[in-house]
Amino acid sequence: MEVKIGVQYAPREIVLESAQTAEEVEKAVAEALSGKSELLTLVDDHGRKVLVPAGKLAYVELGEPTARKVGFSAL
C-alpha cells in the first residue's frame, strides 16, 4: 500500500510502498499521536525503516493496496 507522510516545515512529503496493512499503519500513527511513542515507525517493501518524529507529523495519507506489477514494459 502507498503511504504519504507530510512533515511540518518540509517542502516535500515522504512517499513509501509498505507491505503493512492499513490497520497496522493507522495503529502506528495513533500511538505516535497519542504520545505512546515519540516516533512514527513504518517499514517499506524493501525492509527499510522510516522514522518520523510524532511532533512533526502534518498528515498521513493511506492509498489503496497496490497489485503486484508483472511484465517487461517500461512504466
- Are 37 and 52 a contacting pair, CB within 8 Å? no
Q: What is the mean pLDDT of residues 2-28?
A: 93
Q: In this prediction, what percent of the chain has a pLDDT beyond 90?
A: 69
Is residue 42 packed enough to be buried (19+ CB in 10 Å), middle (13-18) or exposed (0-12)?
Answer: buried
Residue 74 corresponds to which amino acid?
A
Q: How confident is the model at residue 74 (pLDDT cuts 50, 70, 90)?
A: low
Q: Which three cell numbers stand for residue 71?
A: 511484465
pLDDT tens digits, 27-49: 999 999 998 989 999 999 999 99
- Are 20 and 43 a contacting pair, CB within 8 Å? yes
Q: What is the pLDDT of residue 75?
A: 60
pTM of the model: 0.79
* DSSP codes of every residue in 15-32: EEE-SS-HHHHHHHHHHH
